[in-house]
Structure 1
Amino acid sequence: MSKVAFIGLGVMGFPMAGHLAAKGHEVTVYNRTAQKAQAWSAKHGGRAAASPAEAAEGAEFVFSCVGNDDDLRSIATGPDGAFSGMVSGATFIDHTTASAEVARELYAAAQDKGFHFLDAPVSGGQAGAENGALTVMVGGDEASYVAAEPVIRAYARMIGHMGPAGAGQLTKMVNQICIGGIVQGLSEAIHFAQHSGLNVQSVVEVISKGAAQSWQMENRWKTMDEGRFDFGFAVDWMRKDFSIVLDEARRNGAALPLTAMVDQFYAEIQAMGGQRWDTSSLIARLPKT
Structure 2
Amino acid sequence: MSIKTIGFIGYGAMASLMGRNLVQAGYDVVAHTPSGRSNGAEADVPMLASPRLVAERSDAIIICVPNDEAENTALHGPDGLLAGLRSGQLVLDTSTVSPEQADHLAALLGERNVAVLDAPMSGSTPEAEKGALIMLVGGPEETVTLARPILDHIGRITIHAGPAGSATRLKLVVNGIMGGTLNIIAEGIAYGLAAGVERSVLFDALQELAVISPHHKRKIGMGKAGHFPSQFPTRLMSKDMGLLMEAARRCGVPMHGMAAASQNLAASNRNHADDDYSALIARMEREAANR
Give me the TM-score of the superposition, normalised by structure 2. Answer: 0.88
For residue 42 of structure 2, give the secondary structure of its aligned residue in structure 1.
helix
> Contact 2:60 / 2:90 at 8 angstroms: preserved in 1?
yes
Deviation at 1:267, TM superposition (A): 2.6
Letter in 2 for 1:280: S
What is the match of residue 19 of structure 2?
A: 17
CA deviations over 1:83-113 (Å, ceiling 9, x no partner): 2222211111111110111111111111111
Letter in 1 for 2:27: H
The 2-side partners of 1:220 and 1:30 are apart by 31
Unaligned runs of 5+ in 1: none
The 2-side partners of 1:36 and 1:279 are apart by 21
What is the match of residue 250 of structure 1?
A: 249
Deviation at 1:206, TM superposition (A): 5.7
Deviation at 1:214, TM superposition (A): 0.9
Select between 241-250 and 46-55 the one with higher mean Cα deviation.
Answer: 46-55
> Contact 1:208 / 1:214 at 8 angstroms: preserved in 2?
no
What is the match of residue 236 of structure 2?
A: 237
The 2-side partners of 1:208 and 1:190 are apart by 12
The 2-side partners of 1:277 and 1:164 are apart by 34
Letter in 1 for 2:42: A
Q: How many pairs does the alignment contain?
A: 284
Letter in 2 for 1:179: M
Q: CA RMSD in A?
A: 2.3
> Contact 2:61 / 2:90 at 8 angstroms: preserved in 1?
yes
For residue 12 of structure 1, give the secondary structure of its aligned residue in structure 2.
helix
What is the match of residue 176 of structure 1?
A: 175
Unaligned runs of 5+ in 2: none
What is the match of residue 47 of structure 2?
A: 48
The 1-side partners of 2:119 and 2:52 are apart by 20
What is the match of residue 128 of structure 1?
A: 127
The 2-side partners of 1:132 and 1:227 are apart by 28
Are residues 228 and 39 of structure 1, via their aligned partners in 2, closer, same or farther at CA, if it must alter by over 3 Å?
closer
What is the match of residue 275 of structure 1?
A: 273
CA deviations over 1:175-226 (Å, ceiling 9, x no partner): 1110122111211333344345445655666665554121244212232134
Letter in 2 for 1:233: F
Select between 258-267 and 91-100 the one with higher mean Cα deviation.
Answer: 258-267
> Contact 1:7 / 1:30 at 8 angstroms: preserved in 2?
yes
> Contact 2:203 / 2:224 at 8 angstroms: preserved in 1?
no
Deviation at 1:2, TM superposition (A): 2.3
The 2-side partners of 1:27 and 1:266 are apart by 35
Select between 256-265 and 197-206 the one with higher mean Cα deviation.
Answer: 197-206
What is the match of residue 63 of structure 2?
A: 64
Letter in 2 for 1:243: G
For residue 34 of structure 1, give the secondary structure of its aligned residue in structure 2.
coil
